[in-house]
Amino acid sequence: MSNYPKIGIRPIIDGRRNGVRESLEDQTMNMALRVKELYEAELRYPDGSPVQVVIADSTIGRVPEAQAAAEKFKRENVGLTLSVTPCWAYGSETIDMDRTMPHAIWGFNGSERPGAVYLAAALAGHAQLGIPAFGIYGEEVRDADDDAIPDDVRQRLLDYATAGLAVAQLRGKSYLSIGGVSMGIAGCVVKEEFWNYWLGMRNEYVDMVELDRRVQLGIYDDEEYERAYAWVKENLAQGEDFNPEHWQADGDKHEDWWAYSTKLVLIGRDLMIGNPKLADKGFAEEALGHGALVSGFQGQRQWTDFLPNGDLMETMLNTQFDWNGTRAPLIMATENDNLNGASMLVNYLLTNRAQIFSDVRTYWSADAVERVTGYRPEGLAAGGFIDLRNSGATTLDGTLAAKDADGNACIKPWWELTDDDTAAMLEATTFHPANTGYFRGGGFSTHFRSSGEVPVTMTRINWIDGLGPVMQLAEGYTVELPDEVAKTIELRTDPGWPTTWFVPTLTGEGAFTSVYEVMNAWGANHGAITYGHIGHQLITLAAMLRIPVNMHNVSRDRIFRPKNWLGFGTADLEGADYRACAQFGPLYA
């Protein structure tokens, strides 16, 4: 298992001896143990293993005990802390002073001892010191001997830890930029201050020629390549060539593309995470990789005008299985759009699920669909939909062909995938000779249509000059269209590209007054789409990183930010978010 960051739990106690502290020792430590059990049962790292939780060696009632806990947490690679208490304690003497990680406090709501009073005092101390902290306090009074974690508290504990672990897992990793800026797309411009100061990550760069160098010099695992190529030829169905006849390539050229593209998959992976097998071939430096948690491939146009495109590489790396079986996805952004790569990455770390990269391409009103196809959308699509269609690549998990225990279409964590799931994804997908109007060097693009009525969240981080990073998100559902209608719409763009039709949930407020307004307010040409409605967790994570959220459709009762944020306003939460993020600044600046 990788050396993942752990959760540190700090049991806080009234420091007064001779009866008070002694009477609270068991109750306080039991609170910590219950949360530890909750986290270990419910939360997983990206490799599928249970999250690890570290509890301070003793309850914490005075400064030396807080210092001892901090030293232990440093040794144990703790990436976020949760303080728990059923009672009053000495606020600023017992809080965690580390400014570079998330903090939260659960104050038990019981009438016997004032846990809420400590919670208020400690959070006030955090506010005065400029250290954001989340406050967790159950709505209903509980009895002192009640060992259950109330449902509202349980949800807050899990949301905090899920977001905090995502933040902790970013730190120290890298974004690998393969190439530069694709066709003038602003999101491809790597803002090092964003990655360094807000995410705690570093930036790595290689020219695209490195891919071809490794192909030409055989810098890949030959044995794995033979297995990969055999698997690709057996399992990936080649679809129709939609190019004009005079642009169509023959079968021999297709075979060359398959071979080259398969090698790119191996090489893209090796660039990100390394491969010890390369050292056995005399390429010790290449064997190291770049320690990349996420990458991006420029492709267009300098590469794709001359060589087979990177669509198969992007598709297979973002997919949760290949010739080696099921595995965690490797996040790779199309066109080196690193801001969308960052959006995919935070979605992934919150969910442990593969991510869909898409162009936010077209708003289709019901009237427009009816005019073009003769069919008027109904149900979820009655108010129109957004056509999400990437230019040739996205994860096969985006078919939404996997099924959960109730038979619903979904994207699963990789360790839950069955043979039936992977077979269904492959069955739903065809690989078409690339559109040579766009990709003169050939290659293959991925086509499927995502299953409908599946809950998803679309996310995007944008960079605004003078402001920095800003996040926007939209929860909603995928929809399906009758086959002939779908074909007509696909033919207006490219029938060889992956298709997802998305309807955001409307609230009647802000950008969410209509599907059109959501499309109109989207800040860039790309979006990162994840399974499930995780907008509330994205808002929590964004606050931890000090990234304001300028557009969302999450109800107020689901929003969970540090208590300090309320000091910047309680009526206009969006405005308060902007002011708080500006005041506290990037987490690692």
**Annotated catalytic sites, by residue?**
335, 359
* 419 vs 424: CA distance, rounded Å: 9
Confirm if 498 and 389 have CB atoms less than 8 A apart.
Answer: yes
CA angle, 81 then 201 then 415, to 5°: 70
Tokens of 586: 């990037």
Is 290 marked as binding a ligand?
no
Is 526 marked as binding a ligand?
yes
Q: Is 493 exposed, middle or buried (CB count within 10 Å of its CB: 0-12, 13-18, 19+)? A: middle
Count other C-beta atoms under 10 Å from residue 2's C-beta. Answer: 9
Confirm if 321 and 486 have CB atoms less than 8 A apart.
Answer: no
Write the CB contacts of 211 (distance below 8 Å, at least 6 apart in sequence): 178, 264, 267, 268, 271, 303
Amino acid at 506: L
Tokens of 493: 């763009």
What DSSP string describes 444-456?
EEEE-BPPSS-EE
Q: Is 357 exposed, middle or buried (CB count within 10 Å of its CB: 0-12, 13-18, 19+)? A: buried
Question: Phi and psi for 50 in degrees, rounded to 5?
Answer: -65, 145
Is 37 marked as binding a ligand?
no
* 518 vs 550: CA distance, rounded Å: 12
Coil vs helix vs strand at 273? helix
Question: 45-81: string of b/e by CB count within 10 Å (b at 16+)?
Answer: bbeeeebbbbbbeebbbeeebbeebbeebeeeebbbb
Confirm if 394 and 315 have CB atoms less than 8 A apart.
Answer: yes
* 226 vs 281: CA distance, rounded Å: 16
Of residues 31, 117, 25, 103, the one with CA closest to residue 65: 25
* Known binding-site positions for Mn(2+): 335, 359, 526
* Known binding-site positions: 335, 359, 526
